């Protein structure tokens, strides 16, 4: 931990010394949120979000806050190490072309729906469509989006690890089904909070649902379904990529079990002697011995890590490097030719082709090595992954 703030109702523990003003305003709101428990934890990749900063961890008593989970519910990372130790550049380019043909990127979807067998089981003893009305409404559309990457900072990356192996890494979320669930319950929470004359100012963007309220229960079920959908989607993409690699490399190879970790979710956990809802928005779980993934920005190293179970962070760590420039700011300030030359000099097959791609340039993000140094008490590095090629949404 780098700093502690004690000006709110509960303390704030920060694993960074640099916080932008907008994010600091949100941190102050969190520290005065009436249902927040024990303290607020801020990870080193912190930057401003909606209501709660990205890289924030908040535990609550009795309520759940949709904006403290975020609009891309279940967004996270999956990675697998293969037994390959090398891929020639021409073969890698051929693999990338095939990936782009088989995995829709950005706003694109599959032309035909995926099999329902690939979707998470809705479960439940009753009528799941009544228990999860938004999921039910979006279910058919989700069949077309399962196994698609999405846009923004989502990516597929081929990497070479310090273990000598070729790795596959995917960063993606729950697509439109997660956004629809998030938006629906945030709007509902705002309406109910106004009806209940909530003490939480609407300007804080921290509308909440009691966990024992019927709408709170519905949100929890739908949130968990979106988390499962996001994982199923990442798993399908990794399986597709591995199949393409086997076909085009002409080599039969094995791969380790898939590592999966979400970084936009809430879960019921025990901390400091109480069962609480831990909201991680752009933060990942880092229990003692737990394997995690912390990606760098495009063109920089990523890490496979092991959690140290630090109670002060609610057993959490960063979800990545964290932005230092907004998307429009990056496109306004960065020079395309300079960025491209720097990326080319690293011998990385990158995705910066035009001015609009500058929003995902490495320069728009914090230095991942500094981020890792700042959270050395939260995780230990197991494998460093050097990027070979990047596909962006």
**pLDDT score recorded for residue 90:** 94
**pLDDT score recorded for residue 29:** 98
User: Do 25 and 53 touch, CB atoms closer than 8 A?
Assistant: no
Q: Domains plus CATH for the chain?
A: 3-324+365-392 (3.90.1860.10), 325-364 (no CATH)
The helices-and-strands tally (H runs, E runs) of the chain is 9, 17
Q: Tens of pLDDT along 19-47?
A: 999 999 999 999 999 999 999 999 999 99
CA distance 309 to 315: 5
**pLDDT score recorded for residue 127:** 87
Q: Which residues participate in catalysis according to the annotation?
A: 319
In 80-199, which residue ranges form alpha helices assigned H by DSSP? 89-102, 128-131, 133-145, 175-195
**pLDDT score recorded for residue 325:** 87
CA distance 382 to 356: 35
**pLDDT score recorded for residue 138:** 97
**Beta strand pairing call for 274-281 and 54-60:** antiparallel
The token pair at 203 is 């300007």
Q: How far is CA 242 from CA 159, 168, 251, 273, 291, in A?
A: 13, 8, 11, 44, 21
**pLDDT score recorded for residue 345:** 84
**pLDDT score recorded for residue 350:** 85
Report residues of the chain scoring pLDDT below 70: 124-126
Helix H or strand E encompassing 1: none
The pTM for the full model equals 0.96
The token pair at 216 is 């709170």
Cross-sheet strand order for the sheet of 155-161 = 259-262, 76-81, 166-172, 155-161, 379-392, 302-307, 291-294
The token pair at 384 is 């460093």
**pLDDT score recorded for residue 203:** 98
């Amino acid at each position: 931990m780098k700093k502690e703030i004690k000006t709110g109702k509960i303390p704030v523990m920060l694993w960074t010394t640099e916080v932008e003003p907008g994010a600091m305003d949100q941190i102050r709101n969190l520290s005065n949120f009436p249902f927040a428990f024990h303290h607020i934890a801020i990870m080193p990749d912190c930057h401003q979000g909606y209501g709660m900063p990205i890289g924030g961890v908040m535990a609550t008593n009795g309520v759940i806050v949709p904006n403290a989970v975020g609009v891309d519910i279940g967004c996270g990372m999956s990675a697998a190490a293969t037994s390959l130790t090398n891929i020639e550049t021409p073969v890698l380019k051929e693999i990338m072309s095939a990936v782009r043909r088989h995995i829709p990127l950005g706003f694109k979807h599959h032309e035909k729906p995926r099999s329902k067998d690939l979707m998470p089981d809705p479960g439940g003893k009753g009528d799941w469509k009544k228990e999860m009305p938004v999921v039910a409404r979006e279910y058919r559309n989700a069949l077309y989006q399962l196994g698609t990457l999405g846009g923004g900072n989502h990516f597929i990356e081929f990497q070479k690890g310090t273990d000598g192996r070729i790795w596959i890494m995917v960063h993606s979320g729950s697509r439109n089904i997660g956004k629809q669930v998030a938006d629906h319950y945030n709007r509902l929470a705002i309406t109910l909070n106004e009806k209940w004359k909530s003490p939480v100012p609407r300007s804080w963007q921290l509308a909440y649902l009691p966990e024992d309220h019927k709408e709170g229960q519905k949100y929890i079920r739908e949130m968990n379904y979106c988390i499962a959908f996001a994982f199923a989607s990442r798993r399908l993409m990794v399986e597709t990529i591995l199949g393409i690699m086997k076909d085009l490399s002409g080599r039969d190879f094995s791969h380790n079990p898939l590592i999966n970790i979400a970084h936009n979710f809430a879960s019921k956990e025990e901390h400091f002697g109480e069962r609480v809802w831990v909201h991680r928005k752009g933060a990942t779980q880092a229990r003692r011995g737990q394997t995690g993934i912390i990606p760098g920005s495009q063109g920089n190293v990523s890490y496979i890590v092991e959690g140290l179970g630090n109670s002060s962070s609610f057993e959490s760590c960063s979800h990545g490097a964290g932005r230092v420039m907004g998307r429009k700011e990056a496109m306004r300030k960065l020079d395309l030719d300079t960025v491209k030359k720097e990326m080319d000099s690293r011998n990385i097959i990158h995705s910066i082709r035009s001015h609009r791609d500058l929003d995902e340039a490495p320069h728009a993000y914090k230095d991942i090595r500094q981020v890792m140094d700042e959270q050395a008490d939260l995780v230990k590095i197991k494998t460093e992954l050097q990027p070979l090629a990047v596909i962006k949404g």
